[in-house]
Amino acid sequence: MWRFEKSEVMAKIMSLQEGYLYHYYCMLERYRAYEGRIILNDETDEQRLLLVLRNIGERFGDYIMSEDRLVIPPFFY
């Protein structure tokens, strides 16, 4: 097994154009998630619960087009 310092790995990634773009997009995703958490903290408890349920439904549930609704899988009950 080889061990590398984090700074060495980051330097190698940043020296490649693909690595730099990958790092840039990862940081954008982290920023969006952080921004979403800040916005979520300003909502009421009911709104936060609805947003979390919608997120679970979009990620793991099934969309029923005829009824225009998301169905959350039973293991989340």
Domain ranges for the chain: 1-42, 45-77
Q: How would residue 8 be classed by pLDDT, with cut points 50, 70 and 90?
A: confident
- Which range, of 10-14, 36-40, 46-50, 70-74, averages the lowest pLDDT? 10-14
Span 11-32, average pLDDT: 86
Span 60-72, average pLDDT: 86
Question: 58: closest CA among 76, 42, 40?
Answer: 76
Span 35-43, average pLDDT: 86
pLDDT at residue number 54: 87
What does the alpha-carbon distance between residue 71 and residue 63 come to, in Å, rounded to a whole number?
A: 6
Three-class HEC string of the chain: CCCCCHHHHHHHHHHCHHHHHHHHHHHHHHHHHHHHHHHHHCCCHHHHHHHHHHHHHHHHCEEECCCCEEECCHHHC
